[in-house]
Structure 1
Amino acid sequence: MKELLKLIEEKFHKTFKIDNISKVEIDSRNIKKGDLFFAINNGRNYIENVLKTEDTIVICDDNKWKNHERVIVVEDTIKAIQSIAKDYRKRLNIKLVGITGSEGKTTTKDIIHGILSSKYKTKKTVGNYNNHIGLPFTILQLDENDEFGVIEMGMSHKGEISALCDIANIDYGVITNIGDSHLEFMINRDNVFLEKSQIKNYISEKNFFIFGDDVYLKNLSGNKIGFNENNDFVISDYSETIDGVNFSVNSNSYSFKLNGKHNCINASIGIALGLSLGLTSSEIQKGLNLVQVTPMRFQKIEKDGILYINDAYNASPVSMKASLETFNRINFSKKKLAILADMGEMGKDEIFYHEDVLNFANNTDIDTIIILGSLMKEAYKNIKSNKFILVENKDEIKKLIKNNFSDRVILLKGSNFNHLWEII
């Protein structure tokens, strides 16, 4: 990352006795020789330890380090990482794909990365580093030899998508869907759409890819992907197996290893982008086979003879229903148990949304449903069904699995703060 070192030396009028920056870090525990460390928030507490490692450089907003030869003191470290990332991106000869949407951002990012990696040197956002700190951090992981970057763009407040686009200067844009996410701050879906759709202002129509069956997105101009015949890329012949989904896009057949209609759509968006870039169907299928999916996205884990489906990284009404629908559809040849926990950031109608999910679950063929969390508990008061088991904590769930449900296939679904993975 010689170009990044050159940029920093020019920007801050300082010279360092190294030839190259090894990598950029915001977590002091990962520091190695030659790393650049941004001391964000509590990171300033670890500057001394970072500087003990040879050839490290620190950028911070703590004046007590202003005379250290390997420290650059700025007014605001977060603004500094954003500014440096924006300038660094301009120096890179790379194409960036920006992905936003209410659900499916991370999986779609993984898919597009896999597809592009079949032909190009490509990097992607690690995990879901997709906010005002995570996105510039991701850009600073790129180097001069990369050909494509696939970056996730999250938001919870107005103005955030435009700010991220301004930093990233994206070449291609994707909106996966518009759902009931972050309603605590965004109030309603109309506001979510207005914010997410800001991405279209930073790219041309031919480089814009959207789920064309979405009631909000279908009226935007761009490449539309969906099951309806009026889309530019039409999905058909969709089917589920235990191992994933089979489907066609514009009559070419594909397969993908994650279950769910929503993941078929996510994969089809990636296929549309790949086709638009000139990749062949065989290159795209090779890329789909290469996809490394971020954990806790309908992830199958077998332990002690029990098959768990861990889909519990995050949750909204749309993703809860999609997960339940997929779980319901697959023939596992065993009875099914779903564990459902609270959804976060649902706003003033949070009980209504939880009740809606429970009613949906009640109308599936899933044999037993365990519910956890204060919001689920409140919503359950209006549900009349003997299919549900209400519990107070995860220890109760573990005992129930061990004593009563060790012969089941088990779905875990809820927002990440529930830590449902602890059950496994």
Structure 2
Amino acid sequence: MKKLVETLNETFNNSFEVDDISKVEIDSRNIKEGDLFFAINNGKNYIAEVLEKKASFVICDDQKWSGNKKVLVVEDTVKAMQLLAKNYRKKLKIKIVGITGSEGKTTTKDIIHGVLSSKYQTKKTLGNHNNHIGLPLTILNLQEDDEFGVIEMGMSNKGEIPVLCDIAGIDYGVITNIGDSHLEFMINRDNVFAEKSQIKNYIDSDKLFLFGDDVYLKNLKGNKIGFNLENNFIIRNYKETPNGVDFILNNKNYSFKLNGKHNCINASMGVAIGLSLGLTSSEIQKGLDLVNVTSMRFQKIEKNGTLYINDAYNASPVSMKASLETFDNIDFSKKKLAILADMGEMGSDEIKFHQEVLEYALKTKIDTFILMGSRMKEAMKSFNDERLIYCDTKDEIKKLISTSYKDNVILLKGSNFNHLWKII
């Protein structure tokens, strides 16, 4: 990464004793010889350790390291990282696709990465590195010969999307939808839309891709994808299969390995971008087949003869209902059990949102629901239905499954802080 070394010297007006950088790290445990380490938060406690591991360079805000030729001391490590990433991105010929929205960002990122990888050398955000630290880390680890980068852009407060767009220097943009995520900080959907839609200010409308059926997004200028006939890319003949979804987009047949109408929409976003960038339908389908989906997104796991569907990376009212709808529509020829846990960052109306999810759940044909978490416990009081069972802990749920429900197909859905995956 010679250009990164060049950018490092130019950004901080210095001539550092660095020949090359292998990769950029913020976790001292992952440091290998030749890495650049940003000592963020308590990372400053591990500077001596990473230098022993032969890190090429360290950037920190701890004055006691002043004078060390392998360490640059700055006023703010995170801001230094963002500035370096912004300057490095300007030196790269890569095209960046920035993805935001309330739900489906990570899966859509994985899909677009898979589609573009069928023709181009493409990198993507790893895991959930989508904030003011994770995004610049992703940018700094791009290689000079990469052709496309697919970057996830998350937010929880106002003003964050413009910062991320500015650092990433996006060429294409995607807004998956506008939902009820982060209402603890954003108060209402109008504010969520106002923030997410800031992405439109950084690209031309012909390079913006939107879910056109969304009540907020349908009036934005851009390439609209959805089921309504007013969209530029129209989804038809959506069908659930045991292996995922089949659908037609602009008169061509496609299939994708994840179940759910929401995943059909996510896949259609990837198809639309692929078509717009000149890929053939066969190249796009090849990319869809090779998509490496991030775990805990409607992930099917067989364990001790029981089929679990782990959709518990995160949760909002929209994604909860989508997951329940998908689970309800698939024919597994077995009884179905849904384990539903609390949703976070729902704001002052959090109990109302949990009640709405339970009301929706009870309209499905799903046989049983096990609930966990204080919000679900409170919301459950509004219903008198024997299909609802409450458990205080995951151990209680495991015991209940082993005694009464091990022959069921089991869906797990809730915000990540519940750690529902531990049940499996």
Which TM-score band applies after superposition, normalised by the shorter structure?
over 0.9
Partners of 1:179 and 1:189 within 8 A in 2: yes
Deviation at 1:16, TM superposition (A): 4.0
**Partner in structure 2 of residue 248 of structure 1:** 248
Alignment match, 2:201: 201
Matches within 5 A, 1:5-404: 5-404=5-404
1:72-93 C-alpha deviation (Å, 9 max, x unpaired): 0100000000000000000000
Question: Are the equivalent residues in 2 in contact too, given 1:173–1:203 (CA < 8 A)?
Answer: yes
SS in 2 for 1:285: helix
Contact 2:177 2:217 in 1 (8 A): yes
Per-residue CA deviations over 1:52-77 (Å, capped at 9, x if unaligned) read 01242100000000111100010000
Amino acid paired to 2:91: R
Matched AA of 2:290: L
What whole-Å deviation, never above 9, does each CA across 1:125-172 have from its counterpart, x for those lacking one?
001110110110110110100000000000110110011111111000
Shifted more, 381-390 versus 49-58: the winner is 49-58
The separation in 1 between residues aligned to 2:49 and 2:289, in whole angstroms, is: 42
d(CA) in 1 for partners of 2:15 and 2:169? 28
| Aligned partners of 2:11 and 2:87 also within 8 Å | no
8 Å CA contact 2:17–2:69 kept in 1: the answer is no
Distance 1:17 1:133 in 2: 25
Q: Is the 8 A contact 1:127 1:294 kept in 2?
A: yes
TM-score, structure 1 as length reference: 0.99
CA offsets 1:71-122 (integer angstroms, 9 cap, x no match): 0010000000000000000000010000000000000000000000000000
CA-CA distance at 1:421 after TM superposition: 0.3
* SS of equivalent residue, structure 2 residue 98: strand
Cα shift readout 1:292-348 (whole Å, capped 9, x = no counterpart): 000000001111011100000000000000000000000011100000000000000
| Structure 2 counterpart SS, 1:338 | strand
**Which amino acid in the other structure matches residue 90 of structure 2?**
K
Task: Determine the C-alpha separation between the residues in 2 that align with 1:67 and 1:17.
Answer: 13
Q: Is the 8 A contact 1:18 1:55 kept in 2?
A: no
Structure 1 residues 224-250: Cα deviation after superposition (integer angstroms, max 9, x where no partner): 000011100000010001110000101
AA matched with 2:263:
N
Distance 1:205 1:69 in 2: 47
1:12 CA displacement: 2.5
Shift of 1:45: 1.0
Spell out, residue by residue over 1:269-297, the C-alpha distance to the aligned partner (whole angstroms, 9 max, x if none): 11000000000000000000110000000
Q: Give the SS at the match of 1:128.
A: coil
The one-letter amino acid of 1:299's match is: Q
Q: Quick one: distance in 2 between partners of 1:191 and 1:206?
A: 24
- Is the contact made by 1:22 and 1:36 (CA closer than 8 Å) also made in structure 2? yes
The residue identity in structure 2 corresponding to 1:186 is M
Partner secondary structure for residue 145 of structure 1: coil
CA contact (8 A) 1:50 1:56 kept: no
1-side partners of 2:260 and 2:375: how far apart? 26
| One-letter identity of the residue aligned with 1:192 | V
Deviation at 1:396, TM superposition (A): 0.4
* Offset at residue 18 of structure 1 (A): 4.1
Quick one: distance in 2 between partners of 1:304 and 1:216?
45
Partner amino acid for 2:234? V
Normalised by the length of structure 2, the TM-score is: 0.99
Q: Deviations over 1:209-229 (max 9, x none)?
A: 000000000000000000011
Matched residue pairs, number? Answer: 424
- CA contact under 8 A between 2:31 and 2:55: conserved in structure 1? no
**Structure-2 separation of matches of 1:257 and 1:109:** 15
Any idea what SS the aligned residue of 1:332 has?
Answer: coil
Aligned partners of 1:61 and 1:326: how far apart in 2?
Answer: 49
Residues 107 and 293, structure 2, Cα contact 8 Å, conserved in 1? yes
| Counterpart-to-counterpart distance in 2, 1:418 and 1:108 | 24
Distance in 1 (CA, whole Å) between partners of 2:2 and 2:401 is 54
- SS of the aligned residue for 1:48 comes to helix
Separation (CA, whole Å) in 2 of partners of 1:55 and 1:100: 34
User: 1:416 matched to which residue of 2?
Assistant: 416
The alpha-carbon deviation at position 6 of structure 1 amounts to 1.3
Once the two structures are TM-superposed, the CA of residue 17 in structure 1 deviates from its matched residue by 4.1
Task: Give the drift of 1:2.
Answer: 0.7
Inter-partner Cα distance in structure 1 for 2:42 and 2:18 = 27
Aligned sequence identity (%): 72
Q: Deviation at 1:13? A: 3.7
